[in-house]
Amino acid sequence: MGHAELEGQDTGDKGGGLTVHVTYRCGKGRMDVNVPAFLRMRKMGKYKKLMSLIRQSDTPGEAERITAYIRETLDSIVSRMEEAATGAVRARTRVKETEVDIDRLAALRDKHKKGTERYKECSQRVKDARRIRRDLSSLARSYEADFKALRKDREFYQKIIKMEDAG
Protein backbone atom coordinates (compact mmCIF):
# COMPACT_ATOMS: atom_id res chain seq x y z
CA MET A 1 0.00 0.00 0.00
CA GLY A 2 1.02 3.63 -0.36
CA HIS A 3 1.05 6.65 1.87
CA ALA A 4 -1.07 9.82 1.82
CA GLU A 5 -0.57 13.06 3.71
CA LEU A 6 -2.97 15.94 3.97
CA GLU A 7 -1.51 19.35 4.69
CA GLY A 8 -3.28 22.42 6.01
CA GLN A 9 -3.92 25.58 4.02
CA ASP A 10 -2.30 25.83 0.61
CA THR A 11 -0.99 29.37 0.20
CA GLY A 12 -1.05 29.12 -3.58
CA ASP A 13 -4.84 28.83 -3.73
CA LYS A 14 -6.81 32.10 -3.55
CA GLY A 15 -9.66 30.73 -1.45
CA GLY A 16 -7.45 28.51 0.69
CA GLY A 17 -7.73 24.78 0.62
CA LEU A 18 -6.00 21.48 0.94
CA THR A 19 -3.15 19.88 -0.94
CA VAL A 20 -3.02 16.10 -0.83
CA HIS A 21 0.31 14.36 -1.30
CA VAL A 22 -0.28 10.71 -2.14
CA THR A 23 2.40 8.07 -2.51
CA TYR A 24 1.53 4.59 -3.67
CA ARG A 25 3.13 1.32 -4.73
CA CYS A 26 5.35 1.29 -1.65
CA GLY A 27 6.66 4.79 -2.29
CA LYS A 28 7.43 4.29 -5.98
CA GLY A 29 4.55 6.48 -7.16
CA ARG A 30 3.71 9.99 -6.00
CA MET A 31 0.90 12.39 -6.74
CA ASP A 32 0.13 15.89 -5.43
CA VAL A 33 -3.50 17.00 -5.64
CA ASN A 34 -4.78 20.52 -5.02
CA VAL A 35 -8.20 19.55 -3.66
CA PRO A 36 -10.11 22.78 -4.56
CA ALA A 37 -8.78 22.71 -8.14
CA PHE A 38 -9.52 18.99 -8.39
CA LEU A 39 -13.09 19.47 -7.20
CA ARG A 40 -13.69 22.34 -9.65
CA MET A 41 -13.55 19.74 -12.45
CA ARG A 42 -16.82 18.31 -11.04
CA LYS A 43 -16.00 14.77 -12.23
CA MET A 44 -17.59 12.19 -9.94
CA GLY A 45 -15.65 9.28 -11.47
CA LYS A 46 -12.29 10.97 -10.89
CA TYR A 47 -13.32 11.85 -7.33
CA LYS A 48 -14.21 8.21 -6.64
CA LYS A 49 -10.86 7.02 -8.06
CA LEU A 50 -8.92 9.51 -5.94
CA MET A 51 -10.78 8.58 -2.76
CA SER A 52 -10.29 4.88 -3.51
CA LEU A 53 -6.54 5.46 -3.93
CA ILE A 54 -6.33 7.41 -0.68
CA ARG A 55 -8.38 4.81 1.21
CA GLN A 56 -6.01 2.07 -0.02
CA SER A 57 -2.95 4.03 1.15
CA ASP A 58 -1.28 3.82 4.57
CA THR A 59 -3.39 6.70 5.93
CA PRO A 60 -7.01 6.10 4.91
CA GLY A 61 -8.21 8.60 7.53
CA GLU A 62 -7.09 11.42 5.25
CA ALA A 63 -10.12 10.72 3.07
CA GLU A 64 -12.27 11.83 6.01
CA ARG A 65 -10.37 15.12 6.15
CA ILE A 66 -11.15 15.71 2.48
CA THR A 67 -14.81 14.96 3.17
CA ALA A 68 -14.71 17.40 6.11
CA TYR A 69 -13.22 20.03 3.80
CA ILE A 70 -16.06 19.46 1.33
CA ARG A 71 -18.63 19.81 4.13
CA GLU A 72 -17.06 23.11 5.28
CA THR A 73 -16.99 24.41 1.74
CA LEU A 74 -20.60 23.38 1.21
CA ASP A 75 -21.61 25.36 4.31
CA SER A 76 -19.90 28.50 3.01
CA ILE A 77 -21.33 28.18 -0.51
CA VAL A 78 -24.84 29.16 0.58
CA SER A 79 -23.71 32.52 1.98
CA ARG A 80 -21.53 33.17 -1.07
CA MET A 81 -24.51 32.40 -3.33
CA GLU A 82 -26.61 34.93 -1.40
CA GLU A 83 -23.88 37.57 -1.79
CA ALA A 84 -23.65 36.93 -5.54
CA ALA A 85 -27.42 37.09 -5.98
CA THR A 86 -27.63 40.33 -3.99
CA GLY A 87 -24.78 41.87 -5.97
CA ALA A 88 -26.43 40.92 -9.27
CA VAL A 89 -29.77 42.42 -8.22
CA ARG A 90 -28.10 45.65 -7.07
CA ALA A 91 -26.13 45.96 -10.29
CA ARG A 92 -29.20 45.31 -12.47
CA THR A 93 -31.16 47.88 -10.48
CA ARG A 94 -28.42 50.45 -11.00
CA VAL A 95 -28.37 49.60 -14.73
CA LYS A 96 -32.07 50.44 -14.96
CA GLU A 97 -31.53 53.68 -13.04
CA THR A 98 -28.67 54.58 -15.37
CA GLU A 99 -30.86 53.91 -18.42
CA VAL A 100 -33.37 56.45 -17.08
CA ASP A 101 -30.52 58.94 -16.65
CA ILE A 102 -29.32 58.27 -20.20
CA ASP A 103 -32.80 58.96 -21.58
CA ARG A 104 -33.05 62.16 -19.54
CA LEU A 105 -29.59 63.34 -20.64
CA ALA A 106 -30.30 62.50 -24.29
CA ALA A 107 -33.54 64.51 -24.16
CA LEU A 108 -31.66 67.43 -22.60
CA ARG A 109 -28.98 67.18 -25.28
CA ASP A 110 -31.58 67.21 -28.06
CA LYS A 111 -32.88 70.59 -26.85
CA HIS A 112 -29.65 72.21 -28.04
CA LYS A 113 -28.31 72.70 -31.54
CA LYS A 114 -25.64 70.34 -32.74
CA GLY A 115 -22.18 71.81 -32.67
CA THR A 116 -22.84 74.17 -29.77
CA GLU A 117 -20.78 73.98 -26.61
CA ARG A 118 -23.80 73.00 -24.51
CA TYR A 119 -24.64 70.15 -26.93
CA LYS A 120 -21.07 68.85 -26.67
CA GLU A 121 -21.23 68.93 -22.86
CA CYS A 122 -24.50 67.01 -22.87
CA SER A 123 -23.10 64.50 -25.37
CA GLN A 124 -20.15 63.87 -23.07
CA ARG A 125 -22.52 63.26 -20.16
CA VAL A 126 -24.48 60.77 -22.29
CA LYS A 127 -21.24 58.97 -23.20
CA ASP A 128 -20.19 58.83 -19.54
CA ALA A 129 -23.59 57.47 -18.50
CA ARG A 130 -23.42 54.79 -21.23
CA ARG A 131 -19.94 53.77 -20.07
CA ILE A 132 -21.23 53.45 -16.51
CA ARG A 133 -24.14 51.34 -17.77
CA ARG A 134 -21.72 49.03 -19.65
CA ASP A 135 -19.58 48.64 -16.52
CA LEU A 136 -22.61 47.89 -14.35
CA SER A 137 -23.94 45.38 -16.88
CA SER A 138 -20.57 43.65 -16.92
CA LEU A 139 -20.53 43.57 -13.13
CA ALA A 140 -24.04 42.08 -13.06
CA ARG A 141 -23.03 39.38 -15.57
CA SER A 142 -20.01 38.57 -13.43
CA TYR A 143 -22.16 38.17 -10.31
CA GLU A 144 -24.61 35.99 -12.24
CA ALA A 145 -21.80 33.77 -13.52
CA ASP A 146 -20.44 33.42 -9.98
CA PHE A 147 -23.91 32.46 -8.76
CA LYS A 148 -24.30 29.80 -11.45
CA ALA A 149 -20.86 28.33 -10.75
CA LEU A 150 -21.57 28.23 -7.02
CA ARG A 151 -24.90 26.53 -7.67
CA LYS A 152 -23.17 23.84 -9.75
CA ASP A 153 -20.52 23.40 -7.04
CA ARG A 154 -23.22 23.07 -4.38
CA GLU A 155 -25.03 20.39 -6.38
CA PHE A 156 -21.78 18.46 -6.96
CA TYR A 157 -20.74 18.69 -3.30
CA GLN A 158 -24.19 17.58 -2.18
CA LYS A 159 -23.85 14.50 -4.40
CA ILE A 160 -20.46 13.76 -2.86
CA ILE A 161 -21.78 14.13 0.70
CA LYS A 162 -24.80 11.98 -0.10
CA MET A 163 -22.52 9.29 -1.58
CA GLU A 164 -20.12 9.46 1.39
CA ASP A 165 -22.99 9.23 3.91
CA ALA A 166 -24.49 6.24 2.07
CA GLY A 167 -21.13 4.47 1.75
Residue 128 lies in a domain: yes
CA angle, residues 64, 162, 9, in degrees to nearest 5: 35
Count each helix (H run) and each strand (E run) in the chain, helices first.
Answer: 4, 3
CA-based Rg of the chain, rounded to a whole angstrom?
26
pLDDT of residue 9: 38
The neighbouring-strand residues paired with 20 are 6, 33
The answer to whether residues 55 and 132 belong to one domain is no
Based on the structure, what is the number of domains in the chain? Answer: 2
Domain residues for the domain of 37 are 3-60
Question: Do 112 and 135 fall into the same domain?
Answer: yes
For residues 150 and 95, membership in a common domain is answered with yes
The pLDDT tens digits along the chain (167 residues) read 444 444 443 334 444 578 876 777 776 777 777 899 889 999 999 999 889 888 887 767 778 878 988 999 999 999 999 999 999 999 999 999 999 999 999 999 999 999 999 999 999 999 999 999 999 999 999 999 999 999 999 999 999 999 988 87
Q: What CA–CA distances, in Å, run from 72 to 16, 18, 107, 131, 139?
A: 12, 12, 53, 40, 28
For the whole model, what pTM was predicted?
0.75
User: Kind and range of the H or E element at 59?
Assistant: none
